[in-house]
Structure 1
Amino acid sequence: MQVHDGQGQLELRDTDVPVPGAGQLLVRVRAAGLNRGEFLLAHGLHAKGGGNAKAVGTEAAGEVVACGAEVSAWKPGDQVMGRCPGAFAEYVLMDQREAMRRPSRLSWEEAAAIPLTSMVVHDMLVLQGRLQADQWVLVPGVSSGVGVTAMLMAKALGARVIGTSGSQEKLDRLRGLGLDLGLKTRLPDFKDAVLRATEGQGVNLVINTVGGSVFAECLRCMAFEGRLATVGYVDGVLSADLDLEALHSKRLTLFGVSNKLRSTAQRAQGVPAFIAQILPLIESGRITPLVDQVFPFEQLPQAKAVMDASNHLGKIVLAGLP
């Protein structure tokens, strides 16, 4: 992907098969997940100019083809899933610290929907969010890929979940998957309903997938010692009012989740905890990634258009390499 006149352009290019370096796996990609953030120019992930094209795609599932030096836990033929740069390709390099074994009960497409989104959600719910069973979670934009994953993981951890969406149809489908309360709205007008549902206490954790337009309302929904995670700003609103009195008196915690400025080692720190805490829930069937649509690799522009239109529920995945 490259930027011209402020617009991102997708191009399919032939490149050499990469050679794994020390600690790397060469993976034959079977499926790769789409994530909205990797296409948002506002995130600053793509340099301007045709000479600075960046390979896109950040999570994949496939088979190990070759291993670099200092790799002992993997061998060719192993089935793997993990975060990796340039995942929209036939072959990709994956750091062994990011690699996880594909659960046998999952398809390639389901496995490709896990690594980035589920690792981000685990960070928000568990590592930073300190979520406990029976606590309340609010997810504005619950029908997004991150939102659905947050709902499924929170329910598997024993929490209760409130979600907002502009689509009643999507909320109805999510209710069948465990959503406790669905609020049909795209506006910052959900505080009263949230407080009623929580008997006036508010929610313990907010997963803000929308952005600044709902930030202040999210703050008004928080319980004493509540936590709020900001994971995106699909609304394009990058600033919001902050109620310092509420922050102070209710001992609130606000944090962001992004991999942009983290080193490879920092990103890998959470993988062992994810493998120990979440992978067993996936392997046992308590969590199954929700894949909305699967597109052939050559139809990436069409897949992105569906994602941009926000008509999907859960994840969009590329698969079917020639």
Structure 2
Amino acid sequence: EFKGSSIRLLDADTRSLQSGITTSDAVLEETAETEFVLRGAERYVPRLEQLALHEVAPSRRTLETARDSSNFAVTMTGPGTIDNIVLREIADPELAPNEVMVEVAAVGLNFRDIMAATSILPDELENDEAYWRNLGLEFAGTVRKVGDRVTNLKPGDRIMGMGKGYLRRFAKIRADLAMRVPDGIDLIEAATLPTAFLTAHYALTHIGRLAEDETALIHLASGGVGLAAIQVAHDVGARVFGTAGSDTKRAFLKKWGVDEVMNSRALDFADEVRSLTRGRGVDVVLNALSGNGIDKSLECLAPFGRMVEIGKRDLADDKPIGLRSLYRNNAYSVIDLSTLPVEREKLFRQLLAEVEAKVAAGAYKPLEASRFPASRAAEAMRMLSRALHIGKVIVTFDEPSVDIELDLGAQFAVSAQASYLVTGGLKGFGVAIADWLSQKGAGTIILANRSGVPDAEAAAAIDIMEQRGTRIIRAALDVTDAAAVDRLIEEHAAGDAPLRGIVHGAAVIEDAFVSQLDAGKIDRVLRPKITGGWNLHVAVVEHDVPLDFFVNFSSIAQVIGSSGQANYTAANSVLNAIATYRRGRNLAGSSAAWGMIAGSGFVARSEAMTNYLDSVGIKPVQDSEAAAALSYLLRARSENLGFANIDWAAIARTNPGAATNPRISPLLGDRTGGRSRIQTELAAAPREAWDDLLADMIRREVAKVLKVEAIALADDRKLSELGLDSLSSFELKNRVEAQVEVDIPVAKFLQAPTIA
């Protein structure tokens, strides 16, 4: 409303005020920024970010594992970087008749997890089955539930296995694909066994056909598969050569009984092998080296030698190899154990039985491991990716409490045994919110307004809710009356249906330009929102009500600005602050800034308001869609979010000042397009014709605002006499400014001008 004014808003803490420097810099420096949050020597500026609902960052909660059996997974917000790893709540697995649910004690990480997390997995899926969403290929844990047809396992049995998506608290596995953990092995130790020993056993005994008195070269032998392969080779009775990439790891291998140890980072290991075997070479190479290491490993093969490839990187890169290296009756085989359960199930079950028997007999023993709790899973992944470990890297699920993200994709849960209060709930959008709560299963909904009486449209909706089985309480409540609010909260704080959620939607709208505001217009708009919101907060704190949610209904007008609504935007700003205040005290608190709601509410009942908002780029959203979005907003990490359908090009076109507002200007983009009709006409006409052209343009725009024929509008009648009020006058102002790209002072429209 005051485009010529320069106003800066500062939110400063005590430290920044005491220093003075940060504050004075924000006030005096030449900058386009108009809003600052000052915290000590740091300062922050706001930026509005536009997101799809599924992109909203979820809120977090602390899960106390001793008393809360909720499931959660170590997953990712998206592939590409290990920094994207998060802990997120998920539903319990649904069991097929032949499956069991296992409470996971620990998970062994594998290089495939790293490849999935960093987007280098060549066969990655692009749906919910993607590996980066389902990390963890092996586990050990305790059976908690069994499917109807399971006969070989029962709750309490200790098992281990491999598959996909086990990096979670509760997972499922086919009962016939699980291996039992012997009593003498700890479950966390057992998590080092499945993938390493199934791989090493399959590679050396089935594919490599390693025999007694033969020699095996095991690359990267200090890793999980390497250490398992050493045990497999020793069990066969073979001689073992090994490579490792550091002095520490090579020293470890010597203590583990490796006959000859070489450097995996130097390609002269091939010469050493030839020297140690008097030029013959080794019978089997278990390879995980990449690049030239593959070629050098092939050179190490004795006649009739077998090289078994378990590396993944060069396969993904389609690295060529020279066939001459296989000339002496040699074989080169590639294995990927993860495909066996699907493509060779009978063979896979045979491997499970063989490894299970070896573990039970004590031939295959748990491996050296670095352990990390689930809350440090990203740290564990980084250790594995940098090859800083010896043996396995294990993620455990034994923390007494863990912070997890909420699952925004899950159904929003309300209780059939609880009650929920909606202020402003007997009319408009409040009724739509109540209907949404009813559909979600709310047992009791308290709908409150000043009269306690619904209008006809609301009454019909309430009948449907009651037929659905929801108990509806109609309450007469003045939210600005602290005593009345306290009595209502006290009445419903406990009992058969204790209060568990509050939607504060009470509002009064009385628009006017700043120059038209008086104390009454300000007070009537501020009190229902601000005083009402604070009274509700005080009452629930006083009566110690453990709310699942407390949401204030704000407006997108507060977010992007709205001329003629200074009182309304101020009230909504305080509602946002109340939400932040509650969150800062670990209490439920949210503020939802709505755009134009169609189907119900004040805007839906006002054609003039609907036309005005549409003209400035705020498009309608159906009330049912907005209500459904609330399930995301209530579980979001940020307490202050908006939900609106915004035409940013229209915002830029109708509000020239928006482009200079750093809060929203990044969303506006560069204004493109040609001239408007009137600009083209003016450019082509002589100066003396401009008045008539402009009058015709204004007449057309007035007709659009009033929804009348332009020919019926007299040039000499005042706009106020034609039916334009403050709101529609501002719509006309925006329309005219958009046509001519000239700012017109608000005062000009308040002086009752004529078209002429």
**TM-score, normalised by the number of residues in structure 2:** 0.40
1:72 aligns with one of 151, 173, 180: 151
Counting aligned pairs with the same residue, the percent is 28
CA distance in 1 between counterparts of 2:137 and 2:346 reads: 14
Partner of 2:93: 18
2:389 aligns with one of 304, 312, 317: 312
Whether 1:125 and 2:204 are equivalent positions in the alignment is yes
Partner of 1:221: 300
CA distance in 1 between counterparts of 2:193 and 2:129 reads: 32
Q: CA deviation at 1:289?
A: 2.3
| Higher mean C-alpha displacement, 298-307 vs 262-271 | 262-271
CA distance in 2 between counterparts of 1:297 and 1:5 reads: 19
State the secondary structure of the residue aligned to 2:107: strand
CA distances 1:206-259 after superposition (whole Å, capped 9, x unpaired): 111122331110110001111111111468983545332331x31111111114
After superposition, where does 1:183-262 map in structure 2 within 5 Å? Answer: 183-233=262-312, 238-247=317-326, 249-262=327-340
Matched residue type, 2:90: T
Q: CA deviation at 1:166?
A: 1.8
| Higher mean C-alpha displacement, 72-81 vs 40-49 | 40-49
Q: CA deviation at 1:6?
A: 4.1
Q: CA deviation at 1:34?
A: 0.8
2:377 aligns with one of 294, 300, 305: 300
CA distance in 1 between counterparts of 2:161 and 2:261 reads: 31
- Assess if the C-alpha contact under 8 Å between 2:107 and 2:138 holds in 1: yes
- Assess if the C-alpha contact under 8 Å between 1:46 and 1:54 holds in 2: no
After superposition, where does 1:140-179 map in structure 2 within 5 Å? Answer: 140-179=219-258
With over 3 angstroms needed to count, the CA separation of the structure-2 counterparts of 1:12 and 1:104, relative to structure 1, is same
- Assess if the C-alpha contact under 8 Å between 1:4 and 1:48 holds in 2: no
Partner of 1:270: 348
State the secondary structure of the residue aligned to 1:305: helix
Partner of 1:181: 260
Partner of 1:28: 103
CA distance in 1 between counterparts of 2:248 and 2:351 reads: 35
Partner of 2:600: none
State the secondary structure of the residue aligned to 1:11: strand
Q: CA deviation at 1:275?
A: 2.5
CA distances 1:74-99 after superposition (whole Å, capped 9, x unpaired): 11111111113211111001122320
CA distance in 2 between counterparts of 1:222 and 1:119 reads: 24
CA distance in 2 between counterparts of 1:228 and 1:261 reads: 20
CA distance in 1 between counterparts of 2:221 and 2:374 reads: 27
State the secondary structure of the residue aligned to 1:43: coil
Q: CA deviation at 1:286?
A: 3.3
CA distance in 2 between counterparts of 1:263 and 1:35 reads: 17
CA distance in 2 between counterparts of 1:260 and 1:78 reads: 25
Q: CA deviation at 1:47?
A: 4.4
Q: CA deviation at 1:16?
A: 0.8
With over 3 angstroms needed to count, the CA separation of the structure-2 counterparts of 1:287 and 1:58, relative to structure 1, is same
With over 3 angstroms needed to count, the CA separation of the structure-2 counterparts of 1:148 and 1:104, relative to structure 1, is same
RMSD: 2.5
State the secondary structure of the residue aligned to 2:184: coil
CA distance in 1 between counterparts of 2:128 and 2:352 reads: 38
Q: CA deviation at 1:169?
A: 1.7
- Stretches of structure 2 that go unaligned for 5 or more consecutive residues are 1-74, 401-756
CA distance in 2 between counterparts of 1:302 and 1:273 reads: 32
Q: CA deviation at 1:261?
A: 4.5
Q: Whose Rg is larger?
A: 2
CA distance in 2 between counterparts of 1:268 and 1:289 reads: 26
Q: CA deviation at 1:126?
A: 1.0
With over 3 angstroms needed to count, the CA separation of the structure-2 counterparts of 1:251 and 1:63, relative to structure 1, is same
Matched residue type, 2:201: H
Q: CA deviation at 1:168?
A: 1.8
Structure with the larger helix share: 2
CA distances 1:31-86 after superposition (whole Å, capped 9, x unpaired): 11111122213223544699966121011111111111332111111111111321
State the secondary structure of the residue aligned to 2:164: coil
CA distances 1:4-23 after superposition (whole Å, capped 9, x unpaired): 58445322110111121032
CA distance in 2 between counterparts of 1:321 and 1:55 reads: 21
Whether 1:42 and 2:120 are equivalent positions in the alignment is yes
CA distance in 2 between counterparts of 1:15 and 1:297 reads: 15
CA distances 1:259-280 after superposition (whole Å, capped 9, x unpaired): 455453625623334423x434
- Assess if the C-alpha contact under 8 Å between 2:214 and 2:283 holds in 1: yes
Matched residue type, 1:110: E
| Higher mean C-alpha displacement, 62-71 vs 213-222 | 62-71
Partner of 2:668: none
- Assess if the C-alpha contact under 8 Å between 1:293 and 1:317 holds in 2: yes
| Higher mean C-alpha displacement, 302-311 vs 233-242 | 233-242
With over 3 angstroms needed to count, the CA separation of the structure-2 counterparts of 1:185 and 1:16, relative to structure 1, is closer
CA distance in 2 between counterparts of 1:111 and 1:118 reads: 11
Partner of 1:95: 174
CA distance in 1 between counterparts of 2:261 and 2:180 reads: 34
1:58 aligns with one of 137, 154, 160: 137
- Assess if the C-alpha contact under 8 Å between 1:156 and 1:281 holds in 2: no
With over 3 angstroms needed to count, the CA separation of the structure-2 counterparts of 1:245 and 1:308, relative to structure 1, is closer
Matched residue type, 1:156: D
Partner of 2:715: none
CA distance in 2 between counterparts of 1:98 and 1:14 reads: 26
Partner of 2:363: 286
With over 3 angstroms needed to count, the CA separation of the structure-2 counterparts of 1:194 and 1:311, relative to structure 1, is same
With over 3 angstroms needed to count, the CA separation of the structure-2 counterparts of 1:273 and 1:236, relative to structure 1, is closer
**Higher relative contact order, structure no. (Cα contacts within 8 Å, ≥ 6 residues apart):** 1
- Assess if the C-alpha contact under 8 Å between 1:64 and 1:78 holds in 2: yes
With over 3 angstroms needed to count, the CA separation of the structure-2 counterparts of 1:185 and 1:63, relative to structure 1, is closer
CA distance in 1 between counterparts of 2:205 and 2:246 reads: 28
- Assess if the C-alpha contact under 8 Å between 1:98 and 1:268 holds in 2: no
- Assess if the C-alpha contact under 8 Å between 2:95 and 2:172 holds in 1: yes
Structure with the larger strand share: 1
Matched residue type, 1:298: S
- Stretches of structure 1 that go unaligned for 5 or more consecutive residues are none
Matched residue type, 1:246: S
- Assess if the C-alpha contact under 8 Å between 1:210 and 1:235 holds in 2: no
Matched residue type, 2:91: D
State the secondary structure of the residue aligned to 1:13: strand
- Assess if the C-alpha contact under 8 Å between 1:211 and 1:237 holds in 2: no
With over 3 angstroms needed to count, the CA separation of the structure-2 counterparts of 1:82 and 1:49, relative to structure 1, is closer
With over 3 angstroms needed to count, the CA separation of the structure-2 counterparts of 1:151 and 1:93, relative to structure 1, is same
